């Protein structure tokens, strides 16, 4: 059995996951005070332009790499519009992406936090081509979801929902040019950090040890400082959205889409999804299962972290 076949079989029913050592966040610099100005993308002087039906991609990567990213983001666009068809109006307007050839070039031009691997600063997404990885474009996929949330759906979402949807779709399996929402790719962030959560099975003990962020705190942005726990947050963002889309064969999926369209407030969460305590317990158990799946995958494939 090939490695690709092994990964595919591990993902089909629920989650297929792995561990890595990088992180990013869609954190934007504060806007300059004063009169409002039309935002302008920061495009490298040596960038080439590739236009697709929905994107203008300014790239310093190779033509082949840029084409690969173009195919990926167009597939993501189709998946996004299909997933939220009842809540988002289609548009033919092209959005702007800036693709750097590698991480070093990206970091020299980084306008976000020093540890960022990609970011969305309206009107453009900025990312790099991750050479040497099986999924070299998931940074751009993640940021493209933020762009779709903002510029196409017109949503203003709290971090847990905005990052959750971006993590969910950005980490989804892409094969033969088709992205499958929710079928997780083990070579993407934050999936590769999952087994590092080390949940014990005791929700209260894990909350006390800052291994698990209580649901209400996550919804209201009142948890531990994200700069110290960035990977923990992104696992929670991804995990909660995956739970809401797939728990008990999509029990909450329709309600979650309505929640997003309404702005994802905590009162609406309780009204559309359920009581915080009950949902928290089910979500915690869901994350335990995800970690167990990850650990089994690592053991079967001789992966040591």
131 and 47 housed in the same domain: yes
For residue 92, what pLDDT is reported?
82
295 and 216 housed in the same domain: yes
Backbone phi and psi for residue 251, each to the nearest 5 degrees, phi listed first: -55, -40
Q: Residue 170 has which token pair?
A: 């950005």
The answer to whether residue 305 is domain-embedded is no
For residue 303, what pLDDT is reported?
67
162 and 224 housed in the same domain: no
The answer to whether residue 11 is domain-embedded is no
The answer to whether residue 232 is domain-embedded is yes
The answer to whether residue 242 is domain-embedded is yes
CA gap 168, 87 in Å, rounded: 18
172 and 252 housed in the same domain: no
148 and 209 housed in the same domain: no
Q: Residue 43 has which token pair?
A: 């495009």
pLDDT means per 10 residues in the chain (305 residues)? 34 33 34 57 97 98 96 97 94 94 96 91 96 85 97 97 98 92 90 90 97 98 92 97 98 98 98 98 97 84 70
Q: Report, in this order, helix, strand and coil percent for the chain, each rounded to 5.
A: 45, 10, 45
CA gap 293, 183 in Å, rounded: 13
The answer to whether residue 9 is domain-embedded is no
Q: What is the CATH number of the domain that holds 82?
A: 3.40.30.160
167 and 201 housed in the same domain: no
For 253, the domain range is 191-300
Whole-model pTM? 0.86
| Count of structural domains, the chain | 2
For residue 90, what pLDDT is reported?
87
The answer to whether residue 7 is domain-embedded is no
Which of 157, 178, 199 lies at the terminal end of a domain, its last residue? 178
For residue 37, what pLDDT is reported?
64
Longest dimension (CA), the chain: 61
DSSP state of 137: T
The answer to whether residue 184 is domain-embedded is no
73 and 207 housed in the same domain: no
CA gap 285, 247 in Å, rounded: 11
């Amino acid at each position: 059995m090939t490695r690709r076949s092994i990964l595919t079989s591990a993902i089909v029913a629920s989650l297929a996951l792995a561990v890595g050592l990088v992180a990013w966040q869609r954190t934007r610099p504060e806007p300059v005070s004063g009169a409002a100005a039309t935002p302008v993308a920061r495009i490298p002087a040596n960038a080439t332009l590739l236009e697709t039906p929905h994107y203008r991609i300014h790239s310093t990567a190779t033509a082949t790499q840029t084409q690969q990213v173009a195919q990926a983001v167009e597939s993501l666009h189709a998946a996004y519009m299909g997933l939220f068809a009842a809540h988002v109006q289609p548009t033919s307007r092209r959005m702007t992406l800036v693709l750097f050839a590698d991480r070093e070039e990206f970091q020299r031009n980084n306008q976000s936090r020093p540890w960022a691997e990609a970011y969305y600063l309206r009107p453009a997404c900025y990312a790099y081509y991750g050479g040497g990885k099986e999924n070299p474009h998931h940074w751009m996929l993640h940021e493209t979801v933020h762009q779709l949330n903002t510029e196409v759906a017109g949503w203003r979402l709290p971090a847990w929902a905005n990052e959750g949807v971006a993590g969910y779709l950005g980490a989804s399996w892409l094969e033969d040019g088709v992205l499958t929402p929710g079928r997780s790719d083990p070579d993407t962030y934050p999936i590769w950090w999952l087994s590092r959560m080390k949940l014990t099975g005791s929700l209260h003990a894990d909350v006390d040890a800052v291994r698990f962020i209580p649901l209400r705190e996550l919804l209201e942005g009142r948890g531990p400082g994200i700069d110290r726990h960035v990977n923990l947050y992104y696992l929670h963002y991804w995990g909660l959205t995956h739970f809401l889309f797939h728990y008990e064969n999509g029990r909450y999926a329709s309600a979650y889409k309505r929640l997003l369209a309404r702005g994802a407030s905590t009162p609406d969460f309780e009204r559309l999804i359920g009581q915080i305590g009950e949902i928290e317990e089910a979500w915690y158990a869901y994350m335990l299962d995800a970690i167990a799946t990850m650990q089994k995958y690592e053991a079967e494939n001789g992966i040591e972290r």
